[in-house]
Every structure is written in C-alpha cells, then in structure tokens.
Amino acid sequence: MGMDSLIGGSIWDEYSQKVADLMNNPKNMGEITEEEAKIMGGKLIVADFGAESCGDAVRLFWVVNTHSDVIMESKFKSFGCGTAIASSDVMAELCKYKTVDEAVKITNIDVEMAMRDTPDVPAVPPQKMHCSVMAYDVIKKAVSIYKGVDMESLEEEVIVCECARVSLSTLREVIRLNDLTTIEQITDYTKAGAFCKSCIRPGGHEAKDIYLVDLLREYEDEKKANSSGENNLSNIPFKEMTIVQKIKAVDRVIDDNVRQMLIMDGGDMEILDIKENGEHIDIYIRYLGACNGCASSSTGTLFAIENVLCEKLDKNIRVLPI
C-alpha cells in the first residue's frame, strides 16, 4: 500500500507521528562493514530475519565489544513496508549500548511502545503489529549468532500470542483462575488476540501450533470432566488435583466451615492462587469487607482457616493473606 493511499484515508490516523517520521527518515538505516567494526575494536554480527506471512525482511548489524558484550553500534537494512522500517529503526536504537544479554530481553512490545506518541495510544494498527515482532525476532537471531547457540534455545516458553508475547503457561493459568469462557475475556486479561489476531483461530496471516480457541476448548473439556467426577473428589489426594479441582475443594471446605463465621462479622475472603512450594501447598487469599485490616485476620482467623484446610485437605497447606 503506498503512502498516498494511506494519507487519503482514515488508516493514516492509526499511525503515530513517530512512525510516520521514521518511515521516511530512519536514523539507524545503513550497514556496517568488517573494517568499520575492526576500527571500533569490536566484532561484527550480521543477522537476517524474514516474515513469511508478509514478505518483509530485516538485516541487523551489530558491533559488539567481546570483552564487555556491549553493543557499541547498531544499524539495520529493511526490505518491506514503512512500518517495518520504523520498527527496525527503533529496534536498532534500543539495542545501542546494551549488553547482548540485555538486548535479548527487548520485546516487540518495547518496540511498539517506543514508537507511540502518547503511552496509551497504539503506534500502529493491529494488523501491523507483526512488524515489531519481526524486530524482536532478528534480535534473537543476532544473539544466537554471537553466542553460537540455536535461536530456539533463547525462547524459554511456548509463545501463543507473538504480538503481546503471552505464553502458553500464562494463558492456561489466567483462563483457569478467572474462569474465562470467551476470546474477549482473554484479551481483556492478557492482551492476547488484541493485535494481528492470528493467535485466535486458524486462518490468520501466520499459522500457529495452538490457538486461543483451543485453550478455551481445553478448559471447557476439563470443566466437564471435573463436573462429572466432582462427587468423587474426596477420593483424590489434594496434591494430585488439578488447579480447578483444588480451588473447588478449598472453596467447599471454606463454605462448610469458615465463611459463615466471616460473613457474620461483616467480612469474607477469596482464593487468589494455589501453588506448590517444596513440600508446602501455599494458598493465597484476600480478605474482604470487615476482615480486611482486622487484627485477628493475621492471627486467630488465619489460624482457624489454615487449621481446617490442613485437617480436611492436606496437612502441608499454608494460608498466605495478600
């Protein structure tokens, strides 16, 4: 799409002024030669990365001080749209004077945020978010070349939403803890699916191994399985329950033994999270109403809650108010 067609339509309004300026006047576009790197006293790293979905590609040049791992100079060449040029320019600027380990922590969100005119207004329309993802990926490629490792080894988790950098484990946890049932709810909680939308369901510009609709279906199937076996929940050791089963079991014990006492005093409590911590099972709670700030909430009341959960569910339970 040409610049004239953008200016003539409302799409132009979806780009920040910074993006518009960098499209035509990038500050870091160019290349670095071996000779120039040698004069600077550093090692030249050249990394290429292309996005198959749109045909854009970027080449990143670094001069790295091998003693300190600091990136002394950073430039790029981009083969793609204006947004790819702007994203690559900002990415190259963010890399400067950072160590290689610091640079690999730069995400596409950092790039997009740096292109905004104001913190709360996106710099580019959602369908162009993949350009900043490409900037993130070429950094990983440069780091992998410098360190002599596979690019995949730098990614510690499976990422479902590349645009917002939301991992599979985070999505599963958020869906279960908040009983999410729609894509819109997932987006509200995590920003996954808010940008290019390829992670929502098959058919986007980029194929994925797992989609948000798969995770919702997985959770729905799990709830059905839990519901059918709910009457037999007492036969499952607490430690072996799923997170959903644990929350239901704790809620049931609290409802039967504690909640009425709290409500009579004008308060209540809610379960925030359940995590295994060594031999302990930590249950994080939040007091509500009059219980919040009450002196006994950290002494007698807390002891009563923890004691009944240990007796009914597992002796290694610890209750931690937040």
pLDDT at 227: 67
CATH topology of domain 3-154: Sufe protein. Chain: A (3.90.1010)
Local confidence band at 254 (pLDDT 50, 70, 90 cut-offs): very high
pLDDT digits (tens, 9 = 90+) for 269-278: 999 899 999 8
Q: Is 310 a catalytic residue?
A: no
Element (H, E) at 133: helix 130-147
Q: What is the DSSP string of 188-250?
A: HHH-TTSSS-TTTSTTSSS--SS-HHHHHHHHHHHHHHHHHTGGGGGGS-GGGS-HHHHHHHH
**pLDDT higher than 80, residue 3:** no
Q: How far is CA 215 from the centre of its chain?
A: 15
Stretch 81-110: mean pLDDT: 92
Q: Decide which of 122 and 90 is more confident.
A: 90
User: Where residue 61 falls among pLDDT bands split at 50, 70, 90?
Assistant: very high
Res. 244 pLDDT band, cuts 50 70 90: confident
Q: Is CATH 3.40.50.880 correct for 232-321?
A: no
Tell me which of 6 and 33 has the higher pLDDT: 33
Would you say residue 34 has pLDDT above 60? yes
Confidence class for position 231, pLDDT limits 50, 70, 90: low
| Options 95, 131, 163, 199, the catalytic residue | 131
Check pLDDT > 60 for residue 4: no
Share of the chain above pLDDT 90, in %: 45
* 119, pLDDT greater than 70: yes
Residue 122 predicted with pLDDT over 80: yes
- What angle, 0 to 180 degrees and rounded to 10, lies between the N-to-C axes of helices 243-257 and 300-312? 120
Bridging pattern class, strands 70-79 and 57-65:
antiparallel
List beta partners, residue 286.
270
Q: Which helix (H) or strand (E) holds 256?
A: helix 243-257
pLDDT score at 50: 81
pLDDT at 68 over 70: yes
Query: Is 161 considered catalytic here?
Result: no
Sign of CA dihedral 173, 178, 183, 188: negative
Spatial distance between the Cα atoms of 102 and 47, rounded to a whole number of angstroms:
17
Show contacts of 204-210: CB within 8 Å, 24+ apart. 205/53, 205/54, 205/127, 205/130, 206/52, 206/53, 206/130, 206/162, 208/160, 209/158, 210/158, 210/160, 210/168
Within its chain, how far is the Cα of 47 from the centroid? 25
pLDDT of residue 5: 41
Rounded Cα–Cα distance for residues 76 and 74 (Å): 7
Contact 92, 74 (CB under 8 A): yes
pLDDT greater than 50 at residue 6? no
Average pLDDT, the chain: 87
Tell me: pLDDT of 1 over 60: no
The domains of the chain are located at: 3-154, 159-224, 232-321
- Choice among 54, 161, 163, 291 that is catalytic: 54
Q: Mean pLDDT across the stretch 54-69?
A: 91
pLDDT of residue 261: 86
